[in-house]
Structure 1
């Protein structure tokens, strides 16, 4: 997986993540969970934003098991106020520090459901295959939220948009630590793997819609998008600096909007 993600970035994006995720898929997931207590495993959980969003939509009692390789993020999740289930009871939370490579099917035994958010596109093919294999072996329904598709729509348009988009997407699929990251291809790969296992799959578009109402997230997204594009294609450096300055001025004037496209994927056994 890619290098660690900061808790500050997770905090900035959490409100828009919550708005963007599919409530329709959350309701469908709830319809597949019939036994109490609900035992939920959240992979790549970070500070627990998926749990905070989903737990209130599900009946209780609930027991959440958060998996992440970053012990500091998990500590923040453990120390934060715990969400309530749909009935108003506080959920229980435990944490597991470790890479997904080290995840064992036994770690997910007894799961009622398995979730992840903004995870699949930072995995390698082998990691994704292992995650899907473990999910299929456990037989619990899965909700993987906010996988990037690679499509970004910036308004007003600029001639450099396409070059930056292509460079950023290539950066998402770069070789890291000797392996290829999946980036925007992850959603289709996950769908194919669940399909081949005979599972039902449903995907829903869940874009971020950034603009005057999300000034900090828009600013940080723009910086990260252009920085990654330049890292991938250094020849864009000068043009990207001018682009970023112009886009920042538009954002401050409330004249810039960006749709960053994702999809949520739900999979369940037949």
Structure 2
């Protein structure tokens, strides 16, 4: 599903692991059924979410890694011999998820269309399975020190994320609406990347991609963006890339009330 290069997924994996909202794990574990667990990693890429989550959940466990990219599925089984299934998110239904203990996904919601997200929400709630949906971009980036072009490039990047009907930074709100409308109890937590000298390669790679996407969306930014990128790469780069994690437990009375905005108190 992701279409990302394995090298990019490997580079970001440690930052993803450090960003995920660990305080969602206790309510998640409380919602899991007893006995052996059947766990789906949807849009799995190289399986980084399963690697992070498996040791934090009780066992025994059987993982199904689901993605449309056969090369990524092959890469995902190198470290652990999980079951893999190739398919599109749009083809996943409640019947496929019957008997599942959990549906998990990482960096997925923002690259879906509203129709794809609505179908995924219907499959999750139709199968009455909890879902942990992590690391969705929310359209906020903070760079230190600040630069006058930060806001303009950020806005162009967000518009690029919405191209062709993709949800981009609107994904968390759309997922909360789609799942909440179907009776799921919801909780969100912030899961920001915090990048600096320790993750300098990731920060630089992210910055180049961020600026390139902004320029693709708005070619008129190209002359100013070239100088902006040079300035940023020539100095120590500190950046927070904001994401949100969403836990949904279908079919329950919403014990957590309304879903708060990412980063807000529950």
Say whether the fold is shared (TM-score over 0.5): yes
Q: Aligned partners of 1:146, 1:195: CA distance in 2, in Å?
A: 19
Is 1:52 aligned to 2:51, yes or no?
Answer: yes
Counterpart for residue 87 of structure 1: none
Whether the 8 Å CA contact 2:93–2:120 is kept in 1: the answer is no
TM-score w.r.t. the length of structure 1 is 0.91
Q: Check whether the contact 1:205–1:262 (CA below 8 A) recurs between aligned residues.
A: yes
CA drift of 1:105 comes to 2.2
TM-score by length of 2: 0.92
Contact 1:27–1:57 under 8 Å retained in 2: no
- Contact 1:145-1:265 within 8 A present in 2 as well: yes
Partner residue in 2 for 1:29: 28
Q: 1:266 aligned to 2:261?
A: no
Are residues 1:134 and 2:119 paired? no
Structure 1: which 4+ aligned runs deviate by more than 6 Å?
A: none
Q: Is the 8 A contact 1:135 1:142 kept in 2?
A: yes
Q: What pairs with 1:153-172 in structure 2 (closer than 5 Å)?
A: 153-172=142-161
- Segments of structure 2 that go 5 or more residues without pairing to the other structure are 253-266
Q: How does 1:17-166 map onto structure 2 within 5 Å?
A: 17-80=16-79, 82=80, 93-166=82-155
Partner of 2:99: helix, strand, or coil? coil
Contact 2:108 2:136 (C-alpha < 8 Å) held by counterparts: yes
Q: Does 1:226 align with 2:226?
A: no
Q: Secondary structure at the match of 1:106?
A: coil
Distance 2:33 2:73 in 1: 28
Q: Secondary structure of the equivalent of 2:4? A: coil
How many positions carry a matched residue from both structures?
251
Deviation at 1:26, TM superposition (A): 2.1
Q: What corresponds to 1:215 in structure 2?
A: 200
Deviation at 1:192, TM superposition (A): 0.7
SS at match of 1:139: coil
Residue 193 of structure 1 deviates from its aligned partner by 1.0
1:244 alignment counterpart: 229
Cα-Cα RMSD: 1.1
* Whole-angstrom distance in 2 between the partners of 1:18 and 1:148: 15
Deviations 1:239-259 (A, max 9, x none): 101000010011xxxx32100
Report the CA distance between 1:27 and its aligned residue: 2.5
